Amino acid sequence: MQAVAYTRPSVLESVAGGHRLGLETSRGTTPKGREDHPRFFTGFLTSPQVAAAGLLAVADVAAARYYQRQLRASLDPVVTGNGDRLRFESFSGCGGVYARLDVLEPGLDGGEVGHGTTNVDVNNPLREALSRIGSDDPLHLRVGPEELAVTTLDGPVVEKKVPLPDRWLRGFAEAQVIAAGFDLRAELPAAEAVRFLRSLPRGGGRGASRGAQWVVPAGRGLRPTTRPVPGAVCLPGPERLVALQRVLRHATALRVYGPPTGGESALAGAWEVVLPGMRLTLTLSPEAGRGFSGEGGVLDALATDEAAEDAELIAVLLAWEPRVDVGDLATASGLPAERVRAALTRLGTSGRVGYDTAEAAYFHRELPYDADRVERHNPRLRSARALVTAGAVTLDGDQGTVTAEDGHVHRVRDRAGTLSCSCLWWAKYRGGRGPCKHALAVRMARRGARAGELGGTQVDGGAR
């Protein structure tokens, strides 16, 4: 269980000439270290109704399960101040949808934006009040406690205890790794964006669509296609884009991001609605019934001690930047760019960086959760380390043999830098969900063997 405490509930108040929105923060991380209730912004929003709709969309995802809907989910969104913008993020309870509202500099009027990350309270009365915001109503926003509350705080008056599944935390890590491989595939003007999104189904049954659906750019819009032709974008579980309906009437464009198509396998994708002074992005996992947590994109970075050491160095150089430049970090750290990217992936596993597809860049944030849980509770990583420790790995050139606890022998081969395996996991996914535990164990053993050649102590399966 994750305890989230606030000084008071977030509230929308009517004041002379408009409204005042106070979003209360919980314990978070700032440049000064851990703070109980950091304050990130006080000023006006240039497009109040748009911001209210975007915040509601992020809250919709935080409270939703798009698969096995009978199970409830209620996780408060995360807010990050990056100096020039505010980012509101959430993950669905089923782990398959990641939402982010970026309120950019043009969307904020007056007041400086602070630096840091924490949870923000979005309760049911606030949701109802935000849904009634009019287009002409000035809206003053405060993210964090009032100055008076800071000086007279006796203790939290609102405390929520919510389940925080490990797969939800791993999803944050996997989503940013997958998004880093996306390219812009299509951009639709407002009218076409609205037409396309309103044509999508809104769900039914257990909430999971059957089979992968594909769309391809056609003129100024998108049209469905039966197979992943070049330039096509996968749309898995189109009903999971329902949260975008909140902001459709304010949309100025729709941008679609995805990886290159290859084969018939379903793929993840990101759908970004461009709004006045802000962006709302939903990233969908490859299948409605398949969360991001099992994709395995972070395992290689977690499996190497080199990336762990590099991550410690890179973490010192992060400064809550809204755009983390890999080249600048490589220069400052003295590391090659590929090691910087691996270190950023490692930092992403604890929520310390995210990825913005619109700007094709990482950004710094610190999720307000236990930073070690993702690695500690990753089953494939734990199993691989156990195999190496037990001496179950034998290396022979570009091949490796792993003897499992049940006596089964698995052959791991290196094919152009990709490790394949004779196990059932590889046969089922063919590397599409990251390496299996046997391939991870071979990779660990190889790195250990190289370390032994450079002076480590040689043991069965590698060096320790």
pLDDT tens digits along 318-365: 989 999 999 999 999 999 998 898 888 888 777 789 999 999 999 999
151 and 16 inside one domain: yes
pLDDT at residue 296 is higher than 70: no
Domain count, the chain: 4
Question: Can you give the pLDDT at residue 73?
Answer: 54
Give the single-character DSSP code of 233.
E
Where is the domain boundary, 251, 279, 294? 294
Say which residue, 83 or 444, is predicted with more confidence: 83
310 and 265 inside one domain: no
Confidence of residue 177 (pLDDT cuts 50, 70, 90): confident
C-alpha to C-alpha distance for 289 and 68, rounded to whole angstroms: 8
| Residues spanned by the domain of 197 | 171-294
235 and 273 inside one domain: yes
Asked if residue 93 belongs to a domain, the reply is no
Where is the domain boundary, 294, 326, 343? 294
What average pLDDT does range 287-300 have in this prediction?
A: 67
Which range among 134-138, 219-223, 429-433, 446-450 has the greatest average pLDDT? Answer: 219-223
Token pair in block for residue 162: 């919510």
Kindly report the pTM of this predicted structure: 0.81
344 and 452 inside one domain: no
C-alpha to C-alpha distance for 365 and 348, rounded to whole angstroms: 9
3-state class (DSSP) for residue 27: strand
185 and 259 inside one domain: yes
Asked if residue 71 belongs to a domain, the reply is yes
C-alpha to C-alpha distance for 264 and 255, rounded to whole angstroms: 23
pLDDT at residue 435 is higher than 90: no
Kindly report the CATH number assigned to the domain that includes residue 240.
3.10.150
Say which residue, 69 or 462, is predicted with more confidence: 69
Asked if residue 144 belongs to a domain, the reply is yes
Q: Which of 155-159, 173-177, 248-252, 363-367 has the lowest mean pLDDT?
A: 155-159
C-alpha to C-alpha distance for 270 and 49, rounded to whole angstroms: 24
Say which residue, 376 or 380, is predicted with more confidence: 380
Kindly report the CATH number assigned to the domain that includes residue 311.
1.10.10.10
What average pLDDT does range 250-273 have in this prediction?
A: 90
Phi, psi of 17 (to 5 degrees): 85, 10
Look up tokens 């070049």; give the residue: 230
56 and 20 inside one domain: yes
Q: Pseudo-torsion of CA 395, 401, 402, 407, nearest 10°?
A: -140
211 and 275 inside one domain: yes
Element (H or E) spanning 348, and its range? helix 337-348
Question: Can you give the pLDDT at residue 455?
Answer: 42
81 and 135 inside one domain: yes
What average pLDDT does range 116-128 have in this prediction?
A: 93
Asked if residue 52 belongs to a domain, the reply is yes
CB of 358 closer than 8 Å to CB of 281: yes
49 and 138 inside one domain: yes
Mean predicted lDDT score pLDDT of the chain: 84
Token pair in block for residue 157: 């008056």
Asked if residue 303 belongs to a domain, the reply is yes
Look up tokens 């499992």; give the residue: 404
Asked if residue 288 belongs to a domain, the reply is yes
178 and 272 inside one domain: yes
185 and 333 inside one domain: no
Question: Can you give the pLDDT at residue 111?
Answer: 81
3-state class (DSSP) for residue 55: helix
Asked if residue 265 belongs to a domain, the reply is yes
Where is the domain boundary, 294, 322, 339? 294
pLDDT at residue 71 is higher than 60: no
C-alpha to C-alpha distance for 125 and 404, rounded to whole angstroms: 54
248 and 307 inside one domain: no
Asked if residue 25 belongs to a domain, the reply is yes
Look up tokens 């998108």; give the residue: 222
pLDDT at residue 211 is higher than 80: no
pLDDT exceeding 90 applies to what percent of the chain? 48
